[in-house]
């Protein structure tokens, strides 16, 4: 047997490469992956060659060294079982079900400190959503929704839907979502949105301004990666409101419309990204505490209903091609490992 590892080799190209199954060092364990989740927002940027090559891939995850220079491995939601241990590791680790912020690979070795053990009642497919639930938790922490507010979420991909699901647990005046694709809008309403709007048939800015007596949103999230949606979200802001930008635009430049209402509305644009904790929380919060909250929130959701495709890693190129060319067909795509 050999290990299989997914590499991004150029714009529009991925390859599954074989290599020897690694043996753990004395202080390591080996994990055999059963599923890993594709993060369609970030990974499509990478797949399309839209990641800035001068930027570190992720300075906070040891498994993602280097820069966005082809070829490289990527991914951060691998779930599997420990199948071998080093001489300094306790026997109890054998056969433990674990989550790892690790690229798409069938076998890998890591320190146990880099693994998160799954709760006994958590399936591997459910655990594959942990990273995106943590992102959704981070978005709510950065947006700080308040009881009675009008909140809008632009973009109902995986992380957008999970953000909507968490926001629906707040006593908001209204929770409105925006997405191009019917399947995602339907899921959005099932997860608690009061209304899901199609930007192709609705004047989004006018609708959001009319929805609230303040003439716009109190809080909005931009999770589409689409500059048009970002400018709509800006135009729909009420006075002194917040817009949390969770999208990563990679190397793409964005022209913002700041010459209209935004200038006089004293709106706040907030950059949100899950690798760090907002400074306002850093005195009391750590990444471990936030991850614990994500586990708790994950336990109350049923995220597996968002899975639309399970694709063997050997056919990973088909999965990325579908996400790139036919995004309306997919929500969460899992890679599987036999």
Give the residue carrying structure tokens 């680790």: 93
DSSP one-letter string for 58-94:
-TT-TTS-SBS-SSB---S-EEEEEEEE-TTS-GGGT
The boundaries of every CATH 3.90.180.10 domain in the chain are 3-129+303-336
**pLDDT at residue number 216:** 92
Q: What are the C-alpha distances in Å from 75 to residues 36, 47, 67, 314?
A: 8, 12, 14, 16
CB 297 within 8 A of CB 129: no
Per-residue model confidence as pLDDT tens for the chain (338 residues): 899 999 999 999 999 999 999 999 999 999 999 999 999 999 999 999 999 988 888 888 888 889 999 999 999 999 999 999 999 999 999 999 999 999 999 999 999 999 999 998 999 999 999 999 999 999 999 999 999 999 999 999 999 999 999 999 999 999 999 999 999 999 999 999 999 999 998 899 999 998 777 789 999 999 999 999 999 999 999 999 999 999 998 888 888 888 878 888 889 999 998 988 999 998 999 999 999 999 999 988 999 999 999 999 999 999 999 999 999 999 999 999 98
Give the residue carrying structure tokens 């063997």: 312
The superfamily in CATH containing domain 3-129+303-336 is: Medium-chain alcohol dehydrogenases, catalytic domain (3.90.180.10)
Domain covering 132-271 in this structure, CATH number: 3.40.50.720
The boundaries of every CATH 3.40.50.720 domain in the chain are 132-271
* 3-state SS assignment for residue 242: strand
């Amino acid at each position: 047997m050999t290990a299989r590892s997914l590499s991004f080799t150029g714009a529009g190209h991925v390859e599954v490469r074989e290599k020897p199954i690694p043996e753990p060092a004395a202080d390591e364990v080996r994990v055999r992956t059963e599923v890993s989740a594709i993060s369609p927002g970030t990974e499509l940027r990478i797949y399309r060659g839209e990641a800035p090559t001068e930027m570190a891939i992720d300075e906070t995850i040891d498994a993602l060294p280097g820069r966005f220079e082809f070829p490289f491995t990527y991914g951060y939601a691998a779930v599997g079982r420990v199948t071998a241990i080093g001489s300094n590791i306790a026997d109890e680790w054998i056969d433990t079900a674990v989550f790892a912020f690790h690229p798409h690979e069938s076998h890998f070795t890591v320190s146990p400190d880099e693994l998160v053990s799954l709760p006994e009642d958590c399936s591997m497919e459910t655990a594959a959503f942990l990273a995106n639930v943590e992102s959704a938790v981070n978005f709510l922490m950065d947006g700080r929704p308040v009881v009675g507010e009008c909140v809008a979420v632009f973009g109902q991909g995986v992380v957008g839907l999970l953000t909507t699901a968490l926001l629906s647990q707040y006593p908001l005046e209204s929770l409105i979502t925006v997405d191009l694709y019917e399947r995602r809008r339907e899921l959005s309403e099932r997860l608690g949105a009061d209304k899901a709007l199609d930007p192709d048939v609705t004047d989004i800015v006018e609708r959001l301004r009319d929805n609230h007596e303040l003439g716009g949103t109190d809080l909005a999230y931009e999770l589409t990666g689409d500059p048009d949606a970002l400018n709509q979200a800006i135009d729909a802001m009420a006075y002194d409101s917040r817009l949390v930008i969770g999208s990563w635009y990679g190397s793409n430049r964005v022209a913002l419309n700041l010459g209209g209402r935004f200038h006089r509305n004293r709106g706040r644009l907030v950059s949100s990204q899950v690798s760090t904790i907002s400074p306002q929380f850093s005195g009391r919060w750590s990444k471990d505490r936030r991850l614990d909250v994500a586990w708790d929130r994950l336990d109350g959701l049923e995220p597996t209903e968002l899975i639309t495709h399970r694709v063997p890693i050997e056919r990973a190129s088909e999965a990325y091609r579908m996400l790139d060319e036919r995004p309306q067909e997919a929500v969460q795509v899992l890679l599987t490992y036999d």
